[in-house]
């Protein structure tokens, strides 16, 4: 059974700060890991995905995520946040074979203060 855990329900930072949003997963096989952003009242927008290769994946708008097999983690980072980054961020996992549904974490609400 695949599970995705986002330990922080809320993260608040100031504009220009760096931020790390945490994601841990549990799955025994080969998987895809991704991050999505959901602005208030909107659908999910894709940020980035990892399957293999370089464990640091670059995404849109200056976001990156780092895969760690030893920690079963895929944390999302941004060096300098903008107020428009305020949104809910979802980590997701999907299997590379068999089931192809996305399993989402519970989300982290990021609030960027001016």
Give the C-alpha separation, 41 to 54, whole Å.
Answer: 34
Number of amino acids touching other proteins (CB under 8 A): 23
Site for other proteins, residues 94 to 113, rule: CB under 8 A: 94, 96-97, 99-107
Q: Which stretch binds other proteins (CB under 8 A): 19-27, 64-72, 73-81, 88-96?
A: 88-96
Q: How far is the CB of 109 from other proteins (least distance, A)?
A: 10
Q: Which is nearer to other proteins, 15 or 104 (CB)?
A: 104
For residue 7, the minimal CB distance to other proteins (Å) is 14
**For residues 8 and 89, is the Cβ–Cβ distance under 8 A?**
no
């Amino acid at each position: 059974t695949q599970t995705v855990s986002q330990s922080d329900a809320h993260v608040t930072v100031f504009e220009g700060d760096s931020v790390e949003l945490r994601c841990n997963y549990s799955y025994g096989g080969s998987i895809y890991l991704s991050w999505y952003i959901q602005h208030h009242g909107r659908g999910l927008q894709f940020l980035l995905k990892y399957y293999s290769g370089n464990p640091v994946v670059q995404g849109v708008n200056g976001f990156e995520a780092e895969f760690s097999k030893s920690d079963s983690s895929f944390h999302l980072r941004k060096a300098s946040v903008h107020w428009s980054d305020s949104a809910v961020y979802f980590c997701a996992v999907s299997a590379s074979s068999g089931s192809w549904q996305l399993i989402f974490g519970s989300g982290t609400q990021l609030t960027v203060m001016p």
